[in-house]
Amino acid sequence: MANAASMREEAEALAIKALGFVASDPELLPRFLAITGIEAHSIRRAAGEPGFLAGVLQFILAHEPTLIRFAEETGTPPAAIGKALRALPLGDDNHERSI
């Protein structure tokens, strides 16, 4: 199980990096907020909710130009982003929800 925990930690770190990427972009942030229904001042609180980090990665993956730019700017292979999504709670319908 240490491997699964390690994968989840790496996935969380990537999702946090993706959140920073989205938050620092004046075009992406409003789109992310509109799609998620989260208000800007509530992002920190929302980040602690199950599924939030998976949602950030889903947002990145849903728009190929955003995915490619994030991958290039962070040196992350695009496939690694999908893999990270599946390691997060609510990132996959078959994911076990562990506390």
Burial class (CB in 10 A: 0-12, 13-18, 19+), 14: buried
Is the confidence at residue 99, as pLDDT, over 90?
A: no
List CB contacts of 55: < 8 A, sequence separation 6 or more: 36, 90
Within-domain flag for 77 = yes
Within-domain flag for 98 = no
**Average pLDDT estimate for 69-80:** 96
**Average pLDDT estimate for 49-62:** 93
Of 99 and 55, the structure prediction assigns the larger pLDDT to 55
Give the chain's domain count: 1
Within-domain flag for 80 = yes
Within-domain flag for 93 = no
Is the confidence at residue 82, as pLDDT, over 90?
A: yes
Taking the model in full, what pTM does it have?
0.86
Q: Which residue segment(s) compose the domain that 42 sits in?
A: 2-87
